[in-house]
Amino acid sequence: MKKIKNVLITLMVLAILHSCGNAETSSTESNTSTTDKTTEALEQAPEVAQTPTVKILGQSDLASKLTEENVLLIDVRTPGEVSDGYIKGAHKFININDADFLPSIDELDKEKTYVMYCRSGGRSGKAANIMVQKGFKDVYNLEGGILNFKGEIAK
């Protein structure tokens, strides 16, 4: 019984694959007409603005990202955490838990690129999302935060 069931399933799959493989268009003229209509529709379609999103930056990509022009590394941890050490090259320290967090973010240039980090990536992810909501276009969250950082720690 099991063999018959397997044979029937195999025959059904083969029949479906055969019917899909034999689908042909009736003429080249038909294809050209369809292509022209598709191109015309795309040209007339309104342009859709894409909303920026937070990008995840892997630990191995941090060093090269920081060599790019207009890229700033921001630590969003508490002052106590920062005093234990921070990633060398951090440009700003903006505590996400501080009442001045939002005003401090508002002072930043929205045209620059920002890499945000915290202890493990949670708070910096929230900070990065806030920045995108405020109109920043190029914002990264450092994957794994300072816990996964293998480079030089400054104090």
Which residues fall within 8 angstroms of residue 139, CB to CB, at 6 or more apart? Answer: 52, 54, 55, 113, 114, 116, 128, 131, 132
Where in the sequence numbering do the catalytic residues fall? 118
CA distance 9 to 3: 10
Query: Given its phi and psi angles, is residue 127 left (phi above 0), alpha (psi -120 to 50 degrees) or beta?
Result: alpha
Cα–Cα dist 88/91, whole Å: 9
Copy the structure tokens of residue 132. 């995108």
Helical (H) or strand (E) element with 35: helix 28-44
